[in-house]
Amino acid sequence: FDGIATYYGPGVGSCGEMDTDEELVVALNQPQMNNGANPNQSPECDKKVQITGEGGESTTARIVDTCPQCPRGDLDLSPKVFKIVCGDLDKGRCKIKWKF
pLDDT at 1: 98
Per-residue pLDDT tens digits for 72-88:
999 999 999 999 999 99
Residue 96: strand pairing partners: 3, 53
- For 41, residues 6+ apart whose C-beta sits below 8 A from its C-beta are none
88 CB neighbour count, 10 Å cutoff:
8
Domain 2-99 CATH assignment equals 2.40.40.10: yes
Q: What does the alpha-carbon distance between residue 34 and residue 41 come to, in Å, rounded to a whole number?
A: 9
Assess contact for 89 and 7: CB atoms under 8 A: yes
Q: Quick one: 72 exposed, middle or buried, by C-beta within 10 A (0-12, 13-18, 19+)?
A: exposed
Per-residue pLDDT tens digits for 35-49:
888 888 899 999 999
